[in-house]
Amino acid sequence: MLKAFAPRAIRSTRPIKSNLAFRSSPFLLRTYATEAEEQDVVIIGGGVAGYVAAIKAGQAGLKVTCIEKRGILGGTCLNVGCIPSKSLLNNSALFHQIQHDTKNRGIEVEGLKLNLQQMMKAKDTSVAGLTKGIEFLFKKNNVNYIRGTGAFKDEHTIDVNLIDGGETSVKGKNIIIATGSEATPFPGLTIDEKKVITSTGAIALTDLPKKMVVIGGGIIGLEMASVWSRLGTEVTIVEFLGQIGGPGMDAEISKMAQKLLTKQGMKFKLNTKVTSGEVNADSLKIHVEAAKGGKEEALDADVVLVAIGRRPYSAGLGFEKIGIETDDKGRFIIDHEYRTKIPHIRVIGDCTFGPMLAHKAEEEGVAAIEYITKGSGHVNYGAIPSVMYTHPEVAWVGQNEAELKAQDVKYKVGTFPFSANSRAKTNLDTDGMVKFLSDAETDRILGVHIVGSNAGEMIGEATLALEYGASSEDVARTSHAHPTLSEAFKEAAMATYDKAIHF
């Protein structure tokens, strides 16, 4: 039995010769693949992991088929997750800024009003353009695309119920499972995506709720809470843990982010559990109490958002009949080359181990194909960034202080506030800071944590630094353009190995 791998850097030290014939010449696009046309790679799932793997396989000259049951490529991320939520986050932030902040900048606006239908239309336009873009890339790279639901017939054959009716099947030398994840339901609350919603319903509300209760203070819950809070909804977040952002977020950064979001109007109930809910035609009540037990409290709401995480999706795949195994959380068990106990069947993305992040899934899509074609692949799981797209944004990569303490690692800390950054001052947007953690002896960067405007873009430099094993001094001695927010990044590095200049 193959054991699940722990998240870590995957590096091959010796290339392995592939048993696949490498094809350099293009071949004609086919509408459907059949058993008579054996594919080099069959991919089940057209989300981020699946479509990236399909494009990479096409670029490598392989015969590849991608099966997607939604009928629209891009998966959760593109259709009901990352992309539409960022559209709403950006546009709700503009609305909030015009309403509360532009007067201080010398911009006075009268008659401001919310057109929620137009805001949703702008979101849908963004999504439609990107999904069509993936279809174009499929055609460009000779990827066969089947719109339908796939299930294992045997170890090499996938039967497909086509969306437009009928059935087909496709046989592959290699099969990649990339079926993604779904929102984890909350016991006792039935999701209808109208009153009791997941993130899918949260990006599609047709009316502005007066009150919203969010169960779960992780990234998804906080992002959706931000959207509706900015537009005028009274939002209360109920979180079982003692901090927001999930366990990956550094505790100091989490406290700062919570303070800033509270100033914007959000309410937080930490160390609190939901015990039950009452959903009636004209009312909704959520009953909560202290996580360790205590007096019960009832929260009234028009809408409750369930955001307690996501779980692997594999319903109807029929993997059991060929002996593929999952763990107690429903994740497919794989080795460090993404192989199940059946070596030619690999698994990538949300339905297996590691953080459920689109960019992690993309990296695995590329690596899986490289393992098939070259025998070696690479994903450094110690350098996968996370971003919370609230305002200010929160971003981090590497380890946080709690993790380093648990491992008894001696480390140094360096910080720099955006209030001392010239570009942040001219932008009138000075909330937050950059925080570096480095090894006390070698100065190698162990983690970087940012709360502030543009944190999601700035974390890319930190990720690159971790990937190449940079020290805080390496970053501190690298020239950064002036005036930019990234100078705060440089100054935090300076504060880690020596002293900052401007604070």
Is 217 labelled a binding residue?
A: yes
Residue 293: phi and psi, rounded to 5, are 100, 145
DSSP symbol at 418: G
74 vs 130: CA distance, rounded Å: 8
DSSP symbol at 218: S
- Which member of 96, 336, 378, 482 is catalytic? 482
Residue found under tokens 């070696």 = 376
- Residue 78, judged by CB atoms within 10 A of its CB (0-12, 13-18, 19+), counts as buried
31 vs 69: CA distance, rounded Å: 15
Is 223 labelled a binding residue?
A: yes
Is 45 labelled a binding residue?
A: no
> Residue 174: helix, strand or coil by DSSP?
strand
Is 216 labelled a binding residue?
A: yes
463-482: b (≥16 Cβ within 10 Å) or e: bebbeeebbbbbbbeeebee
User: By the 8 A CB rule, do 178 and 351 touch?
Assistant: yes
Is 358 labelled a binding residue?
A: yes
Q: Which amino acid is at 343?
A: P
Is 130 labelled a binding residue?
A: no
Is 403 labelled a binding residue?
A: no
Chain-centre distance of CA 70, in angstroms?
Answer: 19
Q: Let me know if 482 is a catalytic residue.
A: yes
Chain-centre distance of CA 373, in angstroms?
Answer: 27
Is 180 labelled a binding residue?
A: yes
Residue 374: phi and psi, rounded to 5, are -120, -20
315 vs 318: CA distance, rounded Å: 8
247-275: b (≥16 Cβ within 10 Å) or e: ebbbebbbebbbebbeeeebbbbbebbbe
389 vs 223: CA distance, rounded Å: 6
Is 300 labelled a binding residue?
A: no
For residue 302, give both structure tokens: 């028009």
Is 111 labelled a binding residue?
A: no
DSSP symbol at 336: T
Is 239 labelled a binding residue?
A: yes
149-165: b (≥16 Cβ within 10 Å) or e: bbbbbeebbbbbebeee
Is 179 labelled a binding residue?
A: yes
User: Looking at 103-208, which runs of residues are DSSP E strands?
Assistant: 143-152, 157-162, 167-177, 181-183, 196-197
Is 150 labelled a binding residue?
A: yes
Residue 352's closest CA among 366, 322, 332, 371? 332
Is 452 labelled a binding residue?
A: no
Is 309 labelled a binding residue?
A: yes
Contacts of 401 (CB under 8 A, 6+ apart): 250, 251, 252, 411, 413, 437
Is 13 labelled a binding residue?
A: no
Which amino acids are annotated as binding site, given as ranges?
A: 86, 150, 179-181, 216-223, 239, 309, 350, 356-359
Which amino acids are annotated as binding site for NAD(+), given as ranges?
A: 216-223, 239, 309
Task: Kindly list the catalytic residues.
Answer: 482
Which amino acids are annotated as binding site for FAD, given as ranges?
A: 86, 150, 179-181, 350, 356-359
